[in-house]
Amino acid sequence: MGRQWRDGRGELVVHGNGGGPAVRVPLEIATSYRARTRGLLGRDSVEGAILLSPANSVHTFRMRMPIDVAYLDRDLRVIAVRTMRPGRLGMPRLRARHVVEAEAGVMAEWGVREGVLVEVTT
């Protein structure tokens, strides 16, 4: 059973943040080929994060800023989190079905780390 998201806006809810309340982050959802291809390219900043789905890898060619990248499995559990500088090609993650991108450093503040479950609301 696949996810039925569409391009648009939503919210990323990060569960398991040290036993505290869930963290809610504004989210841009990119599911069409065009929206996924554009991603964060050419932007100077992003408010919250962007979800690319389906996706199992990203690149930062033509990006203006370093980014945090969280790879999510089919259950929206974080497989890995990496910080990527501009001009890099990320390795594909075999179990990854979705990728969340945000400005470098913010995912640690939100509690996004390996093993954490996230939720996407629209």
Residue whose tokens read 């900043």: 45
Give the 3-state DSSP-derived string for 31-97, with helices as H, strands as E and coil as C.
CCHHHHHHCCCCCCCCCCEEEECCCCCCECCCCCCCEEEEEECCCCEEEEEEEECCCCECCCCCCCC
| pLDDT at res. 18 | 63
pTM of the predicted structure, to 2 decimals: 0.91
| pLDDT at res. 83 | 96
Across the range 78-102, mean pLDDT stands at 94
Q: Is the dihedral of CA 85, 111, 24, 57 positive or negative?
A: positive
1-60 pLDDT, tens digit per residue, is 456 899 999 999 998 766 678 999 999 999 998 888 887 777 777 889 999 999 999 988
62-82 pLDDT, tens digit per residue, is 888 999 999 999 999 999 999
